[in-house]
Amino acid sequence: MSKRKKKRLILRISILTVLIAAVAYTLYSTLTDEEKTLVKAGDNAPDFVLTDLDGKQHRLSDYEGQGVFLNFWGTWCKPCEKEMPYMESQYHEFKDQGVQTIAVNVGESDFQVRNFAEKYNLSFPVVRDAQRDVYDAYSIGTLPTTLLISPEGEVVDVVKGEMTEETIASYMEQIKP
Amino acid sequence: MNEITCKCGHVNPEGTELCLSCGRALTADAETKKTSDVMRYEGMARRSQTYKMSVIDKVWNFFSSVKVGVWLIFITLAASAIGTIFPQVIFIPPLEPPEVYYEDRYGFAGKIYYVLGFHDLYNSWWYLLLIAAIGTSIIIASLDRVVPLYKALKNQRVNRHVSFMKRQRVFTEYTVQQPAEKVIASIGDNLKKRRYRIREEDGHLLAEKGRFARWGPYVNHTGLIIFLIGGMLRFVPGMYVDEVLWIREGDTMPIPGTKQEYFLKNDGFTAEQYTAEEDSEVFGETINRVGAIAKNFQTDATLLKREEGTAIGDESKLTEVESHPIQVNQPFKFDNFALYQVDYRQDEIRSMSFDMVNKETEEALGSFEVDLFQPEDEYKLDDEHRVELMNFYPDFSGFEDGEPQTASPVPNNPAFLFKLYSPEKPDGEVAFIAIQESLEPLGENEFALKFSGIETRDVSGLTVRKDLTLWILGLGGAIFMIGVIQGAYWNHRRLWLKRTEDGKLLAAGHTNKNWFGLRKDLEYAFNGTGLAQPKDHMEENLNKKASGDVKEEKNNDTTS
């Protein structure tokens, strides 16, 4: 092959490579558009501070070294209501093994959340995200959604929808330190 | 065979149609082709038509073909047209799942439409691939043509072979009496006045003007490619945001797309209409005819910024940045973001007031107000009467196992479970109150609650928009237009003058478009030389056919 042709081949390969890369990137981002903004498994869980019903502040990073079972819920949401007692019993099971449970209520009044917590005798921290700030940051979408956060602060899994007592137990097992 | 040696001795690359040096036709094919087709790229070999092909070359050649490009554009056009037959997914009712909607509504055709991705055309992978293929075709086809064309025009010789000149549309052979140098010089001088560039070699002449017009299509394609790059950049995180924010009056909410950095407070929403009294002069008649006419939709908003280093959820560290009204087409702009007023919901219930009355005597014992977004446990009416709120159902949807249910957290249909305490009933009486529904689940009560008032507020629907690609799209569009103008309003005109050894003078002219303009230039140039201007043979033929009816040249022989 002559020098000129070799040069031409290299030029063609590089131009085609750039074009293919651009197209691949565009296709990839279009097809994953929905998930792009989502906090997902493998991400670092964004830090947040929320206040519970007793006025105590809970900062996610304060629980480093413990697994965090982070549940987003609403009082009006039936599946959330159903899984609450399971979470309560598993919370007692796992809290001494280093798994913390935090239930984040999305956008409801103190009255409704308190009423609900009293009805189900919830003893884990129930915090209110009144302005949907954390809900937005985690781009939650539908309720209930539960994030499993490792002791290192990494999201292990995002669970959408209702959980049974067994699955809750197995999830908590996953994030034990 | 890799090269073609011309009779004049010049060695041309394979695929060349006209000798790069003298302009002789090199192939039988080029000999028979229409001159305008051969001249489009100056008879140069397209870079890709040649040598042994590897896979890379095959791919390259595929995209280099204009025929392929035209097909790609045609297919894309057809797909886009099909995409308008049924509504795109963003226009179907928001709560209907598209996988069900299309089949339900349009039957089997709708199902196919959905499965093939026509319902969300701009995001379906094959449509994007088509656009990408068009982009690739534009780049490769342009590169393959502009480089040889540039070389051919840059290196063109003054002295062309007789056969080249004879093939031109404008050509005449003169027998001159006076010295040929004088005629050539005179024509050259005349054309200089018409701003032609003149080159002379061994007594031959080449006059040329507007070569720049030949780059028009390539400038245009560069603009297109920049435009496509701009479109592609929208997919890069941080370049483009298009979100919706519903915000109630009085509320403060994070602005989506700002990574929880900015918050917006809704200070109030106004919807105004023109009134027949105040604006009677302009709108009176129309108002009488069609009813209300909207005047203004406005959200007064305050922008807040979260202090740096503050954790999400901490609402104590928000600092006010700016207050600004948002009206239709008058967005609130900040930090590359713009907030547009696009929608509203009026009169969402915010709070409800009740009177406690003695059922028998109808004596009013006091009133209280329940803020639906901040209900309290207990409302004291006076020292003796109080009402305890046992439960609240913002969107009451009926009973299930005797328990009131709520369908959503939005106060569309608020219902309450109260306990009324009075000196007569120190243990309390339970009352369930919903709109147009009042129950006393635990037996007949002595006291009752009556709705006495309602307070509402509006909800603003805003669009959050950020687009850092706009200037790239603008730049691409501008370059695109420059290319169009360059190619459309300038013409590449050339005149060759050649002296033959037997004392004849040959004149040939060529332009890529606007032959009339070339003829006018030549008329001016040959004025005073004693020679008639060179003949346009195509024009002559046309005139013959149209029998005296003078016609402009046909458009299909323009070469660009």
Dig out the tokens for B205 from the structure. 């002449």
Percent pLDDT > 90 in chain A is: 18
pLDDT at position B552 is 44
CB contact under 8 A, B129 and A27: yes
Residue B50's pLDDT band, with cuts at 50, 70 and 90, is: low
* pLDDT (0 to 100) of residue B519: 93
The nearest CA of chain A is from the CA of B482 a distance in Å of 25
Instruction: Name which of B54, B56, B314 is nearest A49 (Cβ-Cβ).
Output: B314
Specify the pLDDT at position B47.
Answer: 60
What helix, strand, coil percent values describe chain A, rounded to 5?
45, 25, 30
Tokens of A143: 């309720």
B554 — pLDDT class (breaks 50, 70, 90): very low
Check the CA dihedral B30-B35-B40-B44 and report its sign: positive
- In chain B, pLDDT over 90 holds for what percent of residues? 43
> Residue A40 has what pLDDT?
79
pLDDT tens per residue across span B264-300: 999 999 998 887 777 777 777 777 788 788 889 999 9
Residue A55, CA atoms < 13 Å, CB-side half-sphere: 0
Average pLDDT (A55-69) is 89
Mutate one of A1, A131, A138, A140 to test the B interface: name it (highest B CB count within 10 A): A131
Pairwise CA distance, residues B159 & B22, whole Å: 7
Residue of A nearest to B47 (CA): A8
ipTM of the complex: 0.83
**Separation of alpha carbons B333 and B15, rounded Å:** 58
* A59 chain-B contacts, CB cut-off 8 A: 311
Question: Does the pLDDT of residue B1 top 50, yes or no?
Answer: no
Q: Which of B423, B406, B424 is nearest to B415 (CA)?
A: B406
**Residue B398 structure tokens:** 């009926």
Kind of pairing between the strands at B437-439 and A155-160: unpaired
* Domain ranges, ordered by start, for chain A: 3-36, 49-174
CA distance A3 to chain B (A): 14
SS (H, E, C) B473-527: HHHHHHHHHHHHHHHHHCCCEEEEEEECCCCEEEEEEEECCCHHHHHHHHHHHHC
Q: What is the DSSP letter of A32?
A: T
Sign of CA dihedral B428, B432, B438, B443: negative
pLDDT in tens, B445-460: 888 888 888 899 999 9
- Chain B residues near residue A47 by CB distance under 8 angstroms: 311-312
- pLDDT band, very low/low/confident/very high, at A64 (cuts 50, 70, 90): confident
Query: In which band, very low, low, confident or very high, does the pLDDT at B366 lie, cut at 50, 70 and 90?
Result: confident
Distances, alpha carbon A106 to alpha carbons A73, A85, B192, B264, B420, in Å: 6, 19, 80, 18, 30
Is the pLDDT at B555 greater than 70? The verdict is: no
The tokens for A3 are 């020098």
Residue A158: pLDDT band (50, 70, 90) is confident
Q: Do A133 and B254 touch (CB under 8 A)?
A: yes
* pLDDT (0 to 100) of residue B442: 74
What top-level class would CATH report for the domain A49-174? alpha beta
Domain spanning B165-205+493-557: which CATH class is it, in words? alpha beta
The CA distance from B42 to B21, in Å, is 11
Is the Cβ–Cβ distance between B49 and B15 less than 8 Å? Answer: yes
Give the phi and the psi of residue A82 in degrees, each rounded to 5. Answer: -70, -40
CA distance B233 to B240: 8
Tell me the per-residue pLDDT of A99-118, one tens digit each, with 9 for 90 and over. 899 999 998 998 999 989 99
> In sequence order, which residues have a C-beta less than 8 Å from that of residue B139 and are 6 or more positions away?
A15, A19, B63, B221, B225
* pTM, entire model: 0.76
CA distance B414 to B397: 10
Contact B266, B249 (CB under 8 A): yes
Question: What's the order of all strands across the beta sheet hosting B197-201?
Answer: B170-175, B504-511, B493-499, B204-209, B197-201
Tens digits of residue pLDDT in B497-536? 998 888 889 999 999 989 999 999 999 999 888 888 898 8
